[in-house]
Amino acid sequence: MKKQFDWVIFGAGIYGMYAAKLLGMRGMSVALVDIDNEPLQRASFINQARVHNGYHYPRSVSTAEKSANYYKRFNEEFEYAVHKKFTKVYAISMNDSLTNAEQFKKFCDFVDIPAEEVNTSRYFHPGMVEAAFETDEYTYDASKIRQALSNDLSTLLHVQTLFGTEIVSAEIVDEAKFLLRFQTGLIIETGHVLNATYASINQLLQFFNYDLFQTKYELCEVILTKVSANFANMGITIMDGPFFSLMPFGFTGTHSLTSVSDTPHEASTAAYPKFTCHSLRPDCNEQYLRNCNSCEFRPQSAWNRMSQLAKKYLNPDITIQYESSLFAVKTILNTAEIDDSRPTMINIASRKPTFISVFSGKFNTIYDMEEVLL
């Protein structure tokens, strides 16, 4: 049960799947390893499904510009999965916002992303928002991307997917190879490892004894809703502060509801993700993070609080009904707490053998990996 691969990629989210495709198309032998039984099950699927065009980051121009630079390319490459047929509005709250309307418009002009001011009374209670802007921003359907990338990988003869697989040890042999052992009994020898595990990025690093990322973990809920017909082709984000987003969730026919204050149910600043629910499930611990979405011990929904916040701002003819909740762990770099930046971090811990960690919270910056993989 010993095999050799040019690359072993840990984490079958969007970054891991896309990296496996890039390397496989170059003729590299690749093992794509994930603890779940299917790809793209966690944070790559459980989020706002926003194809970022930069609007979300008025206090981090570098993050906004990076998102905007890749926006067109992502929409073209994944056109089959991008939902474009709705109007996306960004609004500035009258109170408690860290960015005012003038600053937001100047920011959009500087980053060169369109923002057309519209009458706030179309969507909001009087006196609740300072200004509203129609923007150019879409959502993606993660299920469609999962299926398409799975099909792509199945055609690449040198790419093997290993799902439901856990690493148990790693060591360096012959000075240029990793010897990896898994709970299945499989042993893999490889000269290159890519850590694309996101919420488990430090958990994997501990097996290799490399420096950990300085992160904060949040156990988050994305609520899927049904909205009234007059809002079916709309999406709204109120920013920049303790507000909410309500926007189409790909092509599912539902809208995702999230809020800055209530989407995170619990935060952890430990080196590894650690939450109170772990005491109820021993197999979810500091070494292995299980899938929160399928866990019976996940938190109770924050629907009441989030829906009340949305109703506080939206016109009464816009109605929202609860459908279901999705849960996943979100990871944030400690430095991002200062300016709300969401950079893609690529850390090369070793060159011989090669160990690379990629960390990003945005779907459409996958192209950053090309600089180290190609």
Question: How does pLDDT run across 30-41, given as a tens digit for each residue?
Answer: 999 999 999 999
CB count in 10 Å sphere of residue 152: 16
**Residue 338 has what pLDDT?**
53
Query: For residue 138, what are the domain limits?
Result: 2-373
In 3-state terms, what secondary structure has residue 181?
strand
Q: Which residues have C-beta within 8 Å of that of residue 2, sequence separation ≥ 6?
A: 186, 187, 188, 189
**Spans of the chain, pLDDT less than 50:** none
CA-CA distance, 203 to 185, in Å (whole number)? 20
Q: What is the CA radius of gyration of the chain?
A: 21
Contact 335, 345 (CB under 8 A): no
**Residue 61 has what pLDDT?**
87
Residue 318: which CATH number?
3.50.50.60
CB count in 10 Å sphere of residue 121: 11
- Closest Cα partner for 139 from 74, 186, 189, 216? 74
**Residue 339 has what pLDDT?**
54
211 to 15, 55, 202, 208: CA distances (angstroms): 21, 33, 8, 9
CA-CA distance, 367 to 220, in Å (whole number)? 26
352 to 2, 6, 26: CA distances (angstroms): 21, 13, 21
> In total, how many domains does the chain have?
1
Residue 96: which region, alpha, beta or left (left: phi > 0; alpha: psi -120 to 50)?
A: left
Gap between the terminal Cα atoms of the chain: 30
Q: Which residues have C-beta within 8 Å of that of residue 322, sequence separation ≥ 6?
A: 223, 225, 301, 303, 307
CB count in 10 Å sphere of residue 103: 15
CA-CA distance, 208 to 278, in Å (whole number)? 24
**Residue 152 has what pLDDT?**
98
- Closest Cα partner for 89 from 248, 303, 321? 248
Q: Structure tokens of 312? A: 């506080």
E strand or H helix that includes residue 62: helix 61-77
Cβ-based burial of 260 (10 A; exposed 0-12, middle 13-18, buried ≥19): middle
* Per-residue model confidence as pLDDT tens digits over 270-321: 999 999 999 999 999 989 999 999 999 999 999 999 999 999 999 999 999 9
β partners of residue 135: 88, 115
**Residue 340 has what pLDDT?**
58
